[in-house]
Amino acid sequence: ETIFSAIPMAPRDPILGITEAFHADPNPHKINLGVGVYYDDNGKVPLLKCVLEAERQMTAQGSPHTYLPIDGLAMYDSAVQKLVFGEDNIALQEKRVATVQSIGGTGALKIGADFLKRFSSNSQVWISDPSWENHRALFEAAGFKVNTYPYYDSVNRGVDFAGMISTLKSLPARSVVVLHACCHNPTGADLSDAQWDEVIEVVQDNKLIPFLDMAYQGFSEGIDSDGKIVRRFARLYSPVLVSSSFSKSFSLYGERVGAFSIVTGNADEAARTLSQLKRIIRTNYSNPPIYGAKIVGTVLNNPELHKMWENELTGMRVRIHEMRHKLVDELNAKSNGQDFSFIIHQNGMFSYSGLTPEQVEKLRKDYSVYIVSTGRICVAALNSHNLDYVANAIAKVL
């Protein structure tokens, strides 16, 4: 018997579990649509040309592997602020936004959660039902009680806005509301501009603490358009917490490049807030890694590379959009009158397909098509070579 001999086995991550089962499957036609990763038309994770070029420049320069400051690479942090909040945002001009480099979007959420626990310890957290599967665990791990607000209406295949807004209206001051800034994961259903206006109004009236998670900026309509909700919040209200990530938009998954920002009331409050964020980082991992932030900072600060990046991002977005259309065409043709057009109106990398857990199970067993049991499909993993096979398989299990 040892001190930890009774340690229980932790539950498996549901999505990584799918990937493990996928790798063990000998079927040559197998397809993994369970992931949250963008693949190109050849089924490969792309290495963006702008990234390769930035890496070339970095290698040619050669530089020692020093420590970064606690809050990260300064030229990266300032570039992120402009991208997320828009260069002309009044909150930036008034220097009341504190931004720190983070270990991906997940790390940004954790910095924000730890900050909130320290300075608003009695708050409870509200996440959408459903939400990204890590939101609940992450905020619980930071010490919060996590509740849900209604979000998805599976009958009408859209946002249950009446349910959402009435729950938000009932929340006490300082409740933390986690909102997906664009490309809702897992449903692909986003709020309209008018609905966002109502959300902002409730946040203001009830003095809530909005935490905007933006992991997919650029995957719905484009950088500026997808950033507009964050930008509107920042102009109208404080505090606003924002987690952002370049995992998907730069295809830099493993380099863990993200940022956490808070819009505060004035420059002095921002300085004090930043000092506290640095304290949180210092006691967790001291300071962030250099490589990914240097790539992103190099691209964003070079007009030519920046343009190259936006073109490549547009390419990813357009390809996903084409896959949505083709999938809908194929399914509508093969499904005996069932209408799948709703898939076209969903945003980002995912689609809530409406497939039941039984149908998902059958897809895996009979066709080696791997989907999350909630029916979430990664549309960004479809391509011109596998789309017919997937559409046929889905039509067969309907």
Specify the 3-state DSSP secondary structure of 69. Answer: coil
**What b/e readout covers 32-52, taking b as 16+ CB neighbours within 10 angstroms?**
bbbbbbbbeeeeeebebebbe
Choose between 331 and 382: whose C-beta lies nearer to ligand PLP. 382
Choose between 188 and 239: whose C-beta lies nearer to ligand PLP. 188
The residue from 30, 117, 248, 294 that is catalytic is 248
Give the nearest distance from C-beta 223 to ligand PLP in angstroms.
Answer: 17
Give the nearest distance from C-beta 136 to ligand PLP in angstroms.
Answer: 12
Give the nearest distance from C-beta 105 to ligand PLP in angstroms.
Answer: 3
Q: Which residue in 389, 387, 386, 358 sits closest to 374, CA to CA?
A: 358
Choose between 104 and 239: whose C-beta lies nearer to ligand PLP. 104
Backbone phi, psi, residue 145, to 5°: -80, 130
Choose between 184 and 362: whose C-beta lies nearer to ligand PLP. 184
Give the nearest distance from C-beta 103 to ligand PLP in angstroms.
Answer: 7
Q: Is 160 a catalytic residue?
A: no
| 275, 11 contact by CB (below 8 A) | no
Give the nearest distance from C-beta 178 to ligand PLP in angstroms.
Answer: 9
The residues pairing with 351 across neighbouring beta strands, listed in sequence order, are 377
| Footprint on this chain of ligand PLP (rule: CB under 6 A) | 36, 104-106, 132, 180, 185, 213, 215, 245, 247, 258
Choose between 239 and 292: whose C-beta lies nearer to ligand PLP. 292
Q: What is the distance, to the nearest Å, from the Cα of residue 53 to the centroid of all Cα atoms in its chain?
A: 26
Residue 92 has, within 13 A of its CA and on its CB side, a CA count of: 18
How far apart CA 52 and CA 299 sit, in angstroms, is 10
Choose between 81 and 131: whose C-beta lies nearer to ligand PLP. 131
- Output the six-digit token pair for 31: 């397809």
Give the nearest distance from C-beta 324 to ligand PLP in angstroms.
Answer: 18
Choose between 253 and 342: whose C-beta lies nearer to ligand PLP. 253
Q: Is 117 a catalytic residue?
A: no
**Who's near 148: CB < 8 A, 6+ residues apart?**
126, 127, 128, 129, 131
- In 3-state terms the chain splits into helix, strand, coil percentages (rounded to 5) of 50, 15, 35
DSSP for 199-243? HHHHHHHHT-EEEEEES-TTSSS-HHHHTHHHHHHHHH-S-EEEE
DSSP for 110-135? HHHHHHHHHHSTT--EEEEES--HHH
| 243, 108 contact by CB (below 8 A) | yes
How far apart CA 58 and CA 64 sit, in angstroms, is 11
The residues pairing with 126 across neighbouring beta strands, listed in sequence order, are 147, 177
Choose between 84 and 270: whose C-beta lies nearer to ligand PLP. 84
The H or E element that residue 366 is part of is helix 357-367
The residue from 71, 77, 213, 226 that is catalytic is 213
- Output the six-digit token pair for 282: 């210092």
Q: Is 49 a catalytic residue?
A: no
The residue from 30, 114, 117, 132 that is catalytic is 132
| Active site (catalytic) residues | 132, 213, 248
